[in-house]
Structure 1
């Protein structure tokens, strides 16, 4: 465990990529096949697509609260929604249910999600009013959905090491980032040493370790991503910065964001050296304070940290 250190050196300031204000910008990712970033406005029920080469921007209205859109190997997209996993036809935008998850629970919605290094997808739910311990952490793998952890209040910071041996996540309400050791299939190790199987219950998994503690910080751990060097880029909600943490969990630098509530970063661009950062206006009373709350930001890492880049994600296979 590494305690949070005083504010780190500023590595640079992100610039605005798109100035439309998201009520709750989240779930950024890079679609390499189409050369576009995508992100969601969860509460605004919108999917944003932004192509980097010509800056064509598309907004797709959605009927359900949605927090992530994963590219599929057949060219469509898998949406992580308040009702579960849905498939969206990329060509026509039609959305159809695929796997129900908490579909009958009106109190919850989906939140953080990210593709793992073993061909799976981790995703989470939380209370629509952030009710304590209403959320759950799931993993979709080889056609099945598994429960990994229950009683989470605000699940965030889901990300993975390049070698697939570790996963990180946070319950934002605790101010701590946790790390799990994974088996060779990408599941958390069981406490009894037995292989993870379809009957494994969350209570049988080994406990994650506290990897970074932000209890003394004005910001709260939100979305995160791991770069190719093993450093975490962590959005700190309320602090207007994205922290870069060493493999040991120490903050070694940060990116300034001209919005108080950065929510999640993602790597993209042809060389995976562009960092996209979503932000949110949710809960803010004053949107005319000169800051760009809810806008979507980018930073070219080649200008500040040459050679630093993200990990490439493979399209998800579901059928």
Structure 2
């Protein structure tokens, strides 16, 4: 298979790039650098990246409407005005837990958010995945270390997630109307003995689950049946999370990180921390908007 065209977006490097989303109305991709408390907006139309400083560590960006977006932060979920950056608290999340922060998240087709938390130093067992409908928070899965890979099938009837530390991609049957689990999770793909760790995920229009493999410099695609069907090398060793972008949703925007890399490792990985735009010749899905009311 022919290697895809890969574009490196600007000179910005992310310590821990994460949580990307795409706004087709303005042809803009958004993502964060968790550890440096920065929010980025990249215009696919004019190629300009704008950087916004945040007053907290944020891990995921989701649309609400043309004027507002949702940020998952270290102590809760915030509504952000796109025009002037004004912030208001939607609901607290582990605000009393100084040792944790938000991590991977994705909005279900119902408009509910699945959002995870983890220990600030990836302490074993401190990670949790929550379901948030408006301001109603339901704890789904606990005892995780680095919860990641949250994604949903096109019909909303299946959810996916992984504990990167464990390396087993899970699937679970959902109520498509709410995004709430209706069964126990099952193993979708066991990567526990493989190189690198499964990180963030996005599902394409055919139902393939595209995951970033942190530490292995590649993306993997898994079928709905649980087979790894494609691996695509990327020019950064630590990719973190993909999302579909572009007017036709035909490219994957992938965040990366240089977290944990020493100076020598960074020299050996020239594109460390860069954000990538990859033309894979596939059609993706747009992450739904978060519904403010349950």
TM-score of the superposed pair, with normalisation by structure 1 = 0.87
- Determine the C-alpha separation between the residues in 2 that align with 1:314 and 1:33: 13
Q: Where does residue 179 of structure 1 map in the other structure? A: 171
Q: Where does residue 160 of structure 1 map in the other structure? A: 152
Q: 1:290 to 1:138 in 2, by over 3 A?
A: closer
Cα deviation digits, residues 174-201 of structure 1 (max 9, x gap): 1110000012422101xxxxxxxxxxxx
Report deviation, 1:93.
0.7
Q: Is the 8 A contact 2:90 2:135 kept in 1?
A: no
Cα deviation digits, residues 188-240 of structure 1 (max 9, x gap): 01xxxxxxxxxxxxxxxx32001011122111010011100011111001100
Cα deviation digits, residues 238-293 of structure 1 (max 9, x gap): 10000112222222222211111000111011000011111000000121225211
Report deviation, 1:312.
2.4
- Determine the C-alpha separation between the residues in 2 that align with 1:277 and 1:297: 5
Alignment equivalent of 2:194, drawn from 217, 231, 238: 217
Alignment equivalent of 1:234, drawn from 211, 214, 217: 211
1:139 aligns with 2:113: no
Q: Where does residue 289 of structure 1 map in the other structure? A: 268
Q: Where does residue 250 of structure 2 map in the other structure? A: 273
- Determine the C-alpha separation between the residues in 2 that align with 1:168 and 1:245: 11
Q: Where does residue 184 of structure 2 map in the other structure? A: 207
- Determine the C-alpha separation between the residues in 2 that align with 1:222 and 1:93: 29
- Determine the C-alpha separation between the residues in 1 that align with 2:11 and 2:230: 26
Q: Where does residue 64 of structure 2 map in the other structure? A: 72
1:258 aligns with 2:235: yes
- Determine the C-alpha separation between the residues in 1 that align with 2:212 and 2:292: 30
Report deviation, 1:314.
3.2
- Determine the C-alpha separation between the residues in 1 that align with 2:287 and 2:253: 15
- In structure 2, list runs of 5 or more residues that go unmatched: none
RMSD between aligned alpha carbons?
1.5
- In structure 1, list runs of 5 or more residues that go unmatched: 1-8, 190-205
Alignment equivalent of 1:54, drawn from 40, 46, 54: 46
Q: 1:68 to 1:163 in 2, by over 3 A?
A: same
| Larger mean Cα displacement after TM superposition, 35-44 or 290-299 | 290-299
TM-score of the superposed pair, with normalisation by structure 2 = 0.95
Q: Where does residue 36 of structure 2 map in the other structure? A: 44
- Point out the structure with max Rg over C-alpha: 1
1:22-37 alignment to 2 at 5 Å?
22-37=14-29
What SS does structure 2 have at the residue aligned with 1:288? helix
Q: Is the 8 A contact 1:19 1:296 kept in 2?
A: no
- Determine the C-alpha separation between the residues in 2 that align with 1:258 and 1:215: 23
Q: Where does residue 192 of structure 1 map in the other structure? A: none
Q: Is the 8 A contact 2:21 2:287 kept in 1?
A: no
Q: 1:259 to 1:74 in 2, by over 3 A?
A: closer
Q: Is the 8 A contact 1:212 1:249 kept in 2?
A: yes
